[in-house]
Amino acid sequence: MERRVFLQLGAAAAAPAARAQSSPDIAVIGAGVFGGWTALQLVERKVRVALVDAYGPGNARSASGGLSRLVRVRYTDETYVRLMLRAFTLWREWEQRWDEQFLVPTGYLSIVDPGPLPAAITDARKLLAKHGVASEVLDADELRRRYPQVRLDDVGAGYWEPGACTARPADSCRRVAQAVAEAGGSFHHARAEPGARTGRRLETARLSTGETLRADAFVFACGPWMARTLPDAMSGRLRTPRREVFFWGTPASAAAAYAHPRFPAWSDRTRKGRENSYYGFPDFDGLGLRVIPANDDNPLDPDLDERVVSAFQLHRAHDYMTYRFPKLARQPVIGSRVCQTEYTPDGDFIIDRHPDYDNVWIVGGGSGHGFKHGPAVGELAAERILGRDIDPDFQQRFAFKPTEFPQEKGSW
């Protein structure tokens, strides 16, 4: 965290007695990508906001932490294409306003087997063309010409989205929290849970510091902690699978070949890639080529589980890298981390009122694709919380749904 951000947030956290004497209009619980952007959009609308987070914005336990997230537009669903295009606009506006870059223009490549292109690609390209988003299909010869550092003899084609980016998630979460503080919001470094209620109104939130936080409304955007914080509404409706990220070393003689701008963000949808659902990012900060196997559905407790990669996934990652990146077969893993995502049963976000409260809102369910939408989700959430009309398609799509995961596979 930059020193100035730490000092500003730390100063707010150091004055609990002063804060307790003034009630914020809205308390936002969770300073991840959804909570942070919701808080920022609210303070931009002249609302007094208290932002609360147990471990701090961009922390290593959160689903919004880490060093890279894919920001692309490819969907077969127009709702998410429209939302993503709005998010892109907002990302760029805030980057310009802050004079900082959080989206690295890496592009995005997805490779597939020989034969007919998957419907997910052909349908998405039609939808993207409708909205003026550039994309290409690269044949095998063109792929081999562009990326000789990759084994591609089993690949039929590649989907290429030149406007896609790689985000710096932890850095951006900290910058958003700083902006909330700069606009007059307060920050509480504490865990929060619902407190006293009167009928269908929540009056307070209890903080782990012993404080009681009063507000006119409460927004719970606690990511993988949502089911634990709001068990009546969210238990059985959220899964938190673990993800292991490996940072692969590259030889000094060819390091640039695997780094931005010569190498893109990528996913492998070939038969080999589907064995463990691989994707990754180029090296753009000297930490190595990122490789992520994404087939692990084991839940991760964000508070208690150790963030240590498994020997099983490390072995599979080595096997995959030997096959797909043979020039890196003898290179070491130079770093790793374990994170988690949080999934709803249908993969849709939740931006809706809590079913048991009139003044409590749930903003969550990022479902592995939420980070890039953060600024637009925050905008929608702020408008809904303030009672303003939003696009009915968005309101219906992101409504709270009672659907639960099958019990035998439920999360804690």
Rounded to the nearest 10 degrees, the angle between the axes of helix 78-98 and helix 119-130 is 60
Q: And the tokens for 46?
A: 């002249």
Q: And the tokens for 3?
A: 């020193």
For residue 200, give the DSSP letter: T
Please tell me the distance from the alpha carbon of residue 339 to that of residue 347, in angstroms, as a whole number.
Answer: 18
Q: To 5 degrees, how large is the angle CA 137–CA 134–CA 169?
A: 100
- Partners of 265 in beta bridges: 108
219 contacts 361 by C-beta, under 8 angstroms: yes
9: pLDDT confidence band, cut at 50, 70 and 90? very low
- Quickly count helices (H) and strands (E) in the chain: 13, 22
Q: And the tokens for 210?
A: 């012993």
Query: What are the tens digits of pLDDT across the range 232-285?
Result: 999 999 999 999 999 999 999 999 999 999 999 999 999 988 877 899 999 999
Phi/psi region, residue 165 (left: phi>0; alpha: psi -120 to 50; beta: rest), is beta
pLDDT attached to residue 17: 36
Mean pLDDT for the stretch of residues 20-37: 87
pTM recorded for the entire structure: 0.93
363 contacts 34 by C-beta, under 8 angstroms: yes
Instruction: Kindly list the structural domains of the chain, giving each domain's residue range(s) and its CATH number in brackets, ordered by start.
Output: 3-65+169-237+346-409 (3.50.50.60), 69-167+241-340 (3.30.9.10)
The residues, any chain, with a CB within 8 Å of residue 126's CB and separated by 6 or more, are none
Query: What are the tens digits of pLDDT across the range 198-214?
Result: 999 999 999 999 999 99
**What is the enclosing helix (H) or strand (E) of 7?**
helix 3-13
